Amino acid sequence: MDNYSFIRQSELEIASKVNLLSKRIRSQEQEVAVDFSHMTLEDELSEEEDHKDSSREAFGSSLENHKLSRKQRTHIRAINVKRKRDFVCLEKVNGELVNILEGLELHTEVFNAAEQKRIVDKVCELQEKVQKGELKRAFTAQGKGRSTIQFGCCFNYRTSKTGNLAGILKHETVDPLPHLFKVIIRRLVKWHVLPPTCVPDCCVVNIYDEGDCIPPHIDHHDFLRPFCTVSFLSECNILFGSNLKVEETGEYSGGSYSLPLPVGSVLVLNGNGADVAKHCVPEVPTKRISITFRKMDESKWPVWYTPEPYLQGIQPLTYELKSCGSSDHVF
């Protein structure tokens, strides 16, 4: 074999090895991408159970290979949350032009697919308990409403037939927040979705079937601002407007801004977005679940209420936070 042939053969062998190595790297990257979904579920949302399975073993193997600490992994996820805070919708309110969406925020990709499934499975488990009569505060609205389950406090949406006013019922008992929901709250505060000065202590689970809706309203001021709602199973639109109302036909009119709520996203309502603009959810096209987290006004606490130790002293992560439509912030 002459020198040229030898060199040419060597080049072909090297090229073949490089190609094989590239395929292996791509394959490993795909495996790592799969493992990371288990990893985030493991780190943030499996505090409720200590089960061990094959996916956990895969997670441990990938973690060992990549040498990422739990803190690093959490920071990567939190930094990649997309945040929009520059909503604008101008309406005349009391004769003045007002941005009725001031204070509104949408945080997307807060929960990945594996985490969403875990949360939805928990809600389905709670629904089964409702059917067995094992939970204290659950309702199914008549007509085109939705089913709800309350935790942390008992409240009326409107004055009841027995004369109880809308708002928190101080002498009615209700089931405590499930542990998984408390883990969700910790994430919302740590990941700069909600401020540490307004950590939720109660929630309502909303379960929509096709055609269900929520009529126009402003959330009761027994609950502090901001509050938030997390969306699961399917995307739907939420409608805002200072003049939103229900027509005799049952349709909603006066809505001036429609906002899609992706699955795994968190909508935060504060400022004008919570107190000037009414909001509603028109008929949903398919099954949907949302969880609305709120903090009670201390003066409205139920007589039996005791603050949850697990939700005290939560501190947001320190990292560079990127916000869509606004300048970056460093916390």
Q: How far is CA 59 from CA 52, 74, 91, 205, 232, in A?
A: 11, 15, 51, 31, 25
Q: What is the pLDDT of residue 144?
A: 63
The total number of residues written for the chain in this structure:
331
Phi-psi label, residue 275: left if phi above 0, alpha if psi -120 to 50, beta otherwise: alpha
Mean pLDDT for each consecutive 10-residue tract of the chain (331 residues)? Answer: 55 56 46 40 46 48 62 88 98 97 98 95 96 87 77 85 80 95 97 98 96 94 98 97 88 93 98 98 96 98 96 88 48 39
The pLDDT of residue 227: 98
**What global pTM score does this model have?**
0.79
Distance CA 70, CA 76 (A): 10
Domains of the chain, first to last = 78-300 (2.60.120.590)
Q: Are 178 and 151 in contact (CB under 8 A)?
A: yes
Q: Which residues contact 145 (CB under 8 A, 6 or more apart)?
A: 212, 213, 214
Tell me how far apart the 2 most distant CA atoms of the chain are, in Å.
Answer: 102
Alpha-carbon span 157 to 255, nearest angstrom: 21
For residue 312 the two structure tokens come to 């005290």
pLDDT for the residue numbered 139 = 76
Pairwise CA distance, residues 72 & 120, whole Å: 27
Closest CA to 235 of 179, 192, 190, 282: 282
Token output for 281: 């959810």
Q: What are phi and psi of 152, to 5 degrees?
A: 90, -35
**120, containing H or E segment:** helix 113-131
Please give the pLDDT value at position 313: 96
Cβ atoms within 10 Å of 211's Cβ, excluding its own: 12
Token pair 């202590």 is found at 201
CB 223 within 8 A of CB 294: yes
Q: Quote the pLDDT of residue 143.
A: 55
d(Cα 315, Cα 196) in Å, to the nearest integer?
A: 6
